[in-house]
Amino acid sequence: MTLVIPTFNEADNIPELLDRITAAVPPGREITVLFVDDSTDDTPEIIEKEALRTPLEVSVHHRAVPVGGLGGAVMEGIDRSGSRWVVVMDADLQHPPALLPELIARGEETGAELVVASRYAGGGDRSGLANRYRVLVSGASTSAAKLLFPKVLREVTDPMSGYFAIRREAIGRAQGPGAPRPLGYKILLELIVRCRPRSVAEVPYDFGVRHAGESKSTVREGLRFLRHLIRLRTTSGTPSRALAFGAIGLSGFLPNLALLWFLTRTTGLHHTAAEVIANQAGMVWNFVLIELLLYRGRKQMGPRARLLSFVALANLDLVARIPLTLLLVSGLGLTPVPATALAMVLVFALRFLCVDRFLYR
């Protein structure tokens, strides 16, 4: 078994953490403890010092460039391990090391490829979350993940857990374009979606209070998680990207209507001219969200060229819809409502394909 522990400025936690891991490992159990460190303090030096007094095999790999955040550190640790089971846990002692033997035992007993230490399974507890804000964020993140991935997460109550054991064969299943590409500190969801473990088991646990140091859960990390969640959903295929594209398009009605209200109420501008201007605001809104959430990392043109191309496509959408509707009414004999609906679907599909295949190819 390899225990992978990502660290970022956790120097004060290392001595106690290694003491508890040593006490938790039963006699005869072979275990390698691998710290993958992104610290800017003396954490790697403390690990090396404490490893000398620890009866376990302990090593530290310090990354000069922390690619992918803590999730990237976990994946690098997994790549460096060669054991049948890999266990991942944090260094802040909110994950109890005493649970290590039970995680592996549950996997061996059930034949599961993934065993998750869950705060939400029967008997689990999340009281170690620092405040109501973190409780709210944790619950909202879990709900969002399960909403977007209902099938793959049906057996998992805590997809945001940072404490789990996974078999080597499950990790090796995700290769090439489907290989994990972590972003931020939530790696379990990435592994479930990319690796699709054939069976999952859970072990409830009490999420403890941080022993020392500061939490890595920040607003910035929350935004990275949201972006990562959308990327995971949309990289699973063209239909998923099309749904996300449509949802972003619908959200553009908010700035459109807000600016239309402002222009007609405060400037006296005619509603037709106001609608044209407001429509451009909605297009820019959509462009920004698509850039940040949907096609991040798939940009070959410059930003100005992308914006102008996107706005041109959106305006062509409006121009093409009216004659297409007339054609459907006069040529196919449809009534105006279904003709308009069909025209909207066809034009949307054409615009999505232009954006997906050419603008962000």
Bridge partners (DSSP) of residue 115 are 165, 201
**Per-residue pLDDT tens digits for 202-249:** 999 988 755 554 555 555 555 666 666 666 665 555 556 666 777 777
The residues near 226 (Cβ < 8 Å, ≥ 6 apart) are 144, 293
Residue type, 147: L
| Residue 161 to residue 230: CA distance in whole angstroms | 19
Pick the residue with more confidence: 143 or 30?
A: 30
Span 86-91, average pLDDT: 93
What are 153's two structure tokens? 């997460």
Q: Evaluate whether 1 touches 104 at the Cβ level (below 8 Å).
A: yes
Chain mean position to CA 47: 30
CA distance 281 to 254: 10
pTM over 0.85: no
- Taking only the tens place, the pLDDT of each residue in 42-59 is 999 999 999 999 999 999
Instruction: Tell me the per-residue pLDDT of 285-331, one tens digit each, with 9 for 90 and over.
Output: 888 888 877 776 666 677 788 888 888 887 777 677 777 777 777 77
Question: Is residue 33 within 8 Å of residue 21, measured between CB atoms?
Answer: yes
The answer to whether 84 and 30 have CB atoms below 8 angstroms apart is no
The 200-204 sheet, strands edge to edge: 57-62, 32-37, 2-7, 85-88, 164-167, 114-118, 200-204
